[in-house]
Amino acid sequence: MITILYLKDENNFHVVQMVDKELVKKIRNMAHEYDKNSGCSQSVLLALQEGLMIGDLEAFKAATVLSGGVARRGETCGAILGGLMALGLAYGRERMENTNQYVKACKVADEICRDFQKQLEKEFGFKKPLGSMLCREIQEMIYGRSFDLRENTQREAFLKAGGHSEEGCYKVCGIAAEVSARKILQLKEK
């Protein structure tokens, strides 16, 4: 549920929407916890599916191979992909011909991506701006190096560096779920 506040200045009323902070926090915490089983994309997507009551098992299964930057390749962060999948479930087009909805959804997706990057920078205290949403670049910013998660020795090094810890990918998943939930809730109330 969103709370709507009406603020008045000298001449006008301004409508300010406030997202249900408790629900957003719950979704963030669920994504954080789910990543303890590995699978950032599914962790974020499942938290959003359960918290917002969207999607189904088929959508959850589709996210299986997106973790670790798509099949553990270090490409686009799986956590944000899970969040964007949830956006598509809640706000995506239902017919290919509906290009207006496609354009609207892409605009919102871009906002989620920007918010995700900014929140990562803030919560992890990055010294420089995050230039992309590549898993390997996020790893470099957090751990000082990237890891090829397809290789057993590097995956073990990733874990030893804190990859699956409170200050690692669990937190990344929580951030992706939070920024996605906030935006989807704003859209649902419009």
Check if the beta carbon of residue 27 is closer than 8 Å to that of residue 178.
yes
Task: Report the half-sphere exposure of 24 (CA within 13 A, side-chain side).
Answer: 17
CA 31 – CA 25 distance, rounded (Å): 10
Indicate whether 73 pLDDT > 50.
Answer: yes
pLDDT over 80 at 92, yes or no: yes
Of 3-12, 81-90, 102-111, 129-138, the one with minimum mean pLDDT is 3-12
The pair of structure tokens assigned to 96 is 């290919």
Percent of the chain exceeding pLDDT 90 equals 85
Smallest CA-to-CA distance from 114 within 136, 93, 102, 129 is with: 129
Give the residue among 25, 81, 83, 21 at the shortest CA–CA distance from 54. 83
Domain ranges, ordered by start, for the chain: 3-188
Residues 8-20 have a mean pLDDT of 55
Q: Determine the average pLDDT of the residues in 114-129.
A: 96
pLDDT tens digits, one per residue of 93-117 = 999 999 999 999 999 999 999 999 9
Whole-structure pTM over 0.85, yes or no? yes
Provide the percentage of residues in the chain whose pLDDT is more than 70: 90
Taking the C-alpha atoms of residue 175 and residue 183, their distance in angstroms, rounded to an integer, is: 12
In angstroms, rounded to a whole number, what is the distance separating the alpha carbons of residues 52 and 98? 24
Residue 6 has pLDDT above 50, yes or no: no
Using alpha carbons, select from 108, 104, 123 the residue that is nearest to residue 174: 123
- Which pLDDT score is estimated for 16? 46
- Residue 185 clears pLDDT 80, i.e. is over it: yes
Report pLDDT digits (tens) over 132-143. 999 999 999 999
Cβ atoms 166, 33 nearer than 8 A: no
Per-residue pLDDT of 51-69, as tens digits, reads 999 999 999 999 999 999 9
Average pLDDT, the chain: 91
